[in-house]
């Protein structure tokens, strides 16, 4: 079965072709970062209009790359939610229109399920069951994953998600937009140990997260310093170390609580080098396995939506061409 995946949940337009026997055939992505940078953040109306311009040209591009005709597509998957309502509607309406024209099933996919399953695209995928650490701009969650569609929330953020804390802290430090990746790069130049920031909820006894207080601690620290280039890098380093320690500690606690030995890390913050190094070392020390998607599949992309859609279609009856979007949608409820 050949599945076209369409991702338009926020500020990246992703399309991909996934074949259930041949694997990922082609994928393409357009990022809107340059457009939104002028405004210091994502402008929903501009995001929606840009998705309209990009989806079909990107689809033609991957069809050519995979040497496939539009008529070869057997099903279409699109991001149903969560995300920006207008942006989601673009992908959903295009998917439904193509499905109607081609007379093939169309299925809506949960954006976070796409992230969660992205490591299964790798040559050596994790086996079920496993614990998943989902860390992105809007979500920080620990999930027990027993099978496709069988997800149990073990812990989640009570306020700012890890990626959101990265972006807000970067703005406090004057790093511009998008702040998270810029802060991570700057942290590489920081001196370890010069500053010590709190580790929120590290010893809370549960698997929940809270990062808003860490952001406030950075603001307080920054006001006490002369913010030369090295000092900003050192604060960025201290901030990143605090988040990494909390995420890593809670992830290992989740494995122990669930009685599992496999950890999957997904979402944009999953590309963070320090987080990967810390988790890899801790898991090796304690006899756990850890799996990551390729860096290009950590951020939003069409490949994860095509794959998740293909997996869903194995167990879900074919859909008609009605479509829906869910800007808010609990992963554990699907």
pLDDT tens figures, 97-136:
999 999 999 999 999 999 999 999 999 999 999 999 999 8
CA atoms within 13 A on the CB side of 332: 11
Q: DSSP assignment, residue 296?
A: G
Q: Which are the contacts of 292, defined by CB distance < 8 A and separation ≥ 6?
A: 119, 264, 265, 266, 270, 276, 298
pLDDT band at 318; cut points 50, 70, 90 = low
What integer is the mean pLDDT of 90-102?
Answer: 97
State how far the Cα of 171 lies from the Cα of 182, in Å rounded to an integer: 10
Classify burial at 284, counting beta carbons within 10 Å of its beta carbon; exposed 0-12, middle 13-18, buried 19 or more.
exposed
Q: Which are the contacts of 318, defined by CB distance < 8 A and separation ≥ 6?
A: 75, 105
Give the residue carrying structure tokens 């992908």: 91
Residue 321: the pLDDT is 84
Closest CA to 81 of 267, 325, 307: 325
pLDDT tens profile 23-79: 999 999 999 999 999 998 999 999 999 999 999 999 999 999 999 999 999 999 999
> What is the distance between the terminal CA atoms of the chain, rounded to a whole angstrom?
23
What integer is the mean pLDDT of 178-197?
Answer: 94
Complete DSSP assignment for 69-133: -GGG--EEEEEEESS-HHHHHHHHHHHHHHHHHHT--EEEEEHHHHHHHGGGGSSSPPPSSEEEE
State how far the Cα of 118 lies from the Cα of 253, in Å rounded to an integer: 23
Residue 264: strand pairing partners:
132, 291
Residue 328: the pLDDT is 94
What integer is the mean pLDDT of 186-203?
Answer: 96
Tell me: pLDDT of 319 over 70. Answer: no
State how far the Cα of 132 lies from the Cα of 153, in Å rounded to an integer: 10
**Which domains are delineated in the chain?**
2-116+297-333 (3.30.420.40), 128-292 (3.30.420.40)
Work out the mean pLDDT of the chain and round it to a whole number: 95
pLDDT band at 325; cut points 50, 70, 90 = very high
State how far the Cα of 264 lies from the Cα of 294, in Å rounded to an integer: 12
Q: How far is CA 226 from the centre of its chain?
A: 35
State how far the Cα of 283 lies from the Cα of 248, in Å rounded to an integer: 9
pLDDT tens profile 220-265: 999 999 999 999 999 999 999 999 999 999 999 999 999 999 999 9
């Amino acid at each position: 079965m050949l599945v076209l995946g369409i991702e338009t949940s926020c500020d990246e337009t992703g399309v991909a072709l996934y074949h259930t026997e041949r694997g990922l055939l082609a994928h393409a992505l357009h990022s809107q970062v340059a457009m939104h940078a002028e405004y210091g953040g994502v402008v929903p109306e501009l995001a929606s209009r840009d998705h309209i311009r990009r989806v079909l040209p990107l689809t033609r591009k991957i069809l050519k790359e995979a040497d496939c005709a539009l008529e070869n597509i057997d099903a279409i998957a699109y991001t149903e939610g969560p995300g920006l309502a207008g942006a989601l509607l673009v992908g959903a309406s295009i998917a439904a229109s193509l499905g109607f024209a081609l007379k093939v099933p169309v299925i809506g996919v949960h954006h976070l399920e796409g992230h969660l399953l992205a490591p299964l695209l790798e040559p050596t995928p994790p086996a079920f069951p496993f614990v998943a650490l989902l860390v992105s701009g809007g979500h920080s969650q620990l999930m027990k994953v027993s099978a496709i569609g069988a997800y149990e929330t073990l812990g989640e953020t009570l306020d700012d998600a890890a990626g959101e804390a990265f972006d807000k802290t970067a703005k406090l430090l004057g790093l511009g937009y998008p702040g998270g990746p810029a802060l991570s790069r700057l942290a590489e130049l920081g001196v370890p140990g010069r500053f010590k920031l709190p580790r929120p909820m590290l010893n809370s006894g549960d698997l929940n997260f809270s990062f808003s207080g860490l952001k406030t601690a950075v603001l307080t620290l920054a006001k006490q310093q002369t913010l030369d280039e090295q000092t900003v890098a050192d604060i960025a380093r201290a901030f990143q170390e605090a988040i990494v320690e909390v995420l890593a500690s809670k992830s290992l606690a989740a494995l122990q609580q669930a009685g599992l030995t496999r950890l999957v890390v997904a979402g944009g913050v999953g590309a963070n080098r320090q987080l990967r190094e810390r988790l890899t070392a801790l898991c090796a020390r304690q006899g756990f396995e850890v799996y990551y998607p390729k860096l290009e599949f950590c951020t939003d992309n069409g490949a994860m939506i095509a794959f998740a859609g293909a997996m869903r279609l194995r167990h879900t009856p074919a859909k008609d061409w009605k479509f829906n979007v869910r800007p808010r949608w609990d992963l554990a409820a699907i």
